[in-house]
Amino acid sequence: MDLQPIWLSLKLAGVTTLLLLVIGLPLAWWLAKKQSVIRLMIEALLTMPLVLPPSVLGFYLLLAFSPQGGLGKWLHEVFNLQFVFSFTGLVLASVIYSIPFMVSPVKSAFQQLPPSLSQASYTLGKTPWQTFWRVLLPNIKPSLLTATVLTFAHTLGEFGVVLMIGGNIPGVTRVASIAVYNAVEQQDYASANNYALVLFAITFVLVAGVFVYNKYQVKSPLV
Amino acid sequence: MIRIHIEKRLKAYNGIQVLRIEKTVTPGSILRVTGPSGAGKTTLLKMIAGLIAPDAGTIAVGDAVWYESAMKINFSPQQRQPGFVFQDYALFPNMTVLQHLQYATQDAAWITRLLAIGQLQTFAHHKPAHLSGGQQQRLAILRALAIRPRLLLMDEPFSALDVKMKTRLIADLLLVIKELNATAIIVSHNQQELDGICNDELVLGGEE
């Protein structure tokens, strides 16, 4: 079995999850604060990848980043960046596609913390940023872990968006889910089964691991 | 002098109520705030702390104006830094007793003394989930004292303590307040627990 698609999938999921931790956490925090129409609209927009067919998202990304015109042409000419049929493009598409999996659970967790936690921290003279790192983030750890693992697993399982914007280039954009499809097309069911089984096993272990961890968190009174 | 002259519209079960407060508090004194549920006692403490903005008025502590609606002055809670004891304690579930105090102050000797005052030395490495209600409440008080506040705002701070513990803690608290040269504003339902301790009282009733 050619392991490259598996590695590519893991790499894509890893990079996407890291980027979403950096982008998604402050975004979720901001969204969890007082509601306003702008926040609601942005939240609705961020939730769209959950309900839209991945092909719709992939289609628009393909149009936007096509080197033939507009944004894609400009990015190519000025920064020599090509998003279509490249790994960078896959990362960008995955970040957009998986953003609700990171932002939504983390936002809900922030909202469930009593407002008095931040207030207490502020009266001790701590800035909102110090409060975020030392008080808020550590107290949503289970949700944060769930969001991280779901984002990773969801990115591993991507198909439609990846196919639209990345195509099926071995070693560049042929991730495991595409490799399954490709093998079935070629009636190579043994390979398809191998890739499918590996994907199933990895995601099952990840999701089950989180469930077990959240259920049996250390309950010792000491530290 | 601490001058409080503020107005705030409150949502109540029977419509909007306007909370109007005009009070001058002498530095070093202990003011008891009382009144029926929903009269705005907690709101008053939070307005003084800068956690909620009044609709109009002035809050001045000594020469410093903390809030002035006309001039759009509104100091942040970080600038005011009052010692605040929340009614729900607002303890940080991720931190141990010791970490709570270390989060508030770097002064190790002061932390040791606070732990002794709250009789929490043996629980220093316990998180709030593993403390009793009374221990949690004592930790909330110690954390507020840790920043050596000049103004101490306490919302029902002794409600979960037994009589013996309460008497002892209040005696220690009075010493600390004197030492810090602090002023205390305490919301309390229980008249007796603060008998002979408070020098002033503010009764909130709420007007239509």
Residues 136-155 of A with CB under 8 A from B: 138-139, 141
Query: Can you give the pLDDT at residue B208?
Result: 36
Query: Can you give the pLDDT at residue A78?
Result: 84
In this prediction, what percent of chain B has a pLDDT beyond 70? 99
Q: Where are the domains of chain A?
A: 4-112+125-215
Query: Can you give the pLDDT at residue A219?
Result: 53
CB pairs under 8 A between A and B: 67
CB-based burial label for B62 (10 Å; 0-12, 13-18, 19+): exposed
pLDDT digits (tens, 9 = 90+) for B130-171: 999 999 999 999 999 999 999 999 999 998 888 888 888 899
pLDDT digits (tens, 9 = 90+) for A160-192: 999 998 888 888 889 999 999 999 999 999 999
Tokens of A20: 């979403």
CB contact under 8 A, A123 and B81: yes
Residue A33 — very low, low, confident or very high, per pLDDT cuts 50/70/90? confident
Tell me, yes or no, if B113 comes closer than 8 A to chain A by beta carbon. Answer: no
d(CA B92, CA B143): 11
CB contact under 8 A, A135 and B82: no
CB contact under 8 A, A119 and B90: yes
What are the phi and psi torsion angles at B200 (to 5°)?
Answer: -155, 160
Of B78, B103, B129, the CB nearest to A122: B78
Give how far B175 is from chain A: nearest CA, Å. Answer: 21
CATH of domain A4-112+125-215: 1.10.3720.10
- Return the beta strands (E) in chain A as ranges: none
* ipTM attached to this prediction: 0.93
CB contact under 8 A, A139 and B104: no
Strand pairing report for B15-25 and B151-155? unpaired
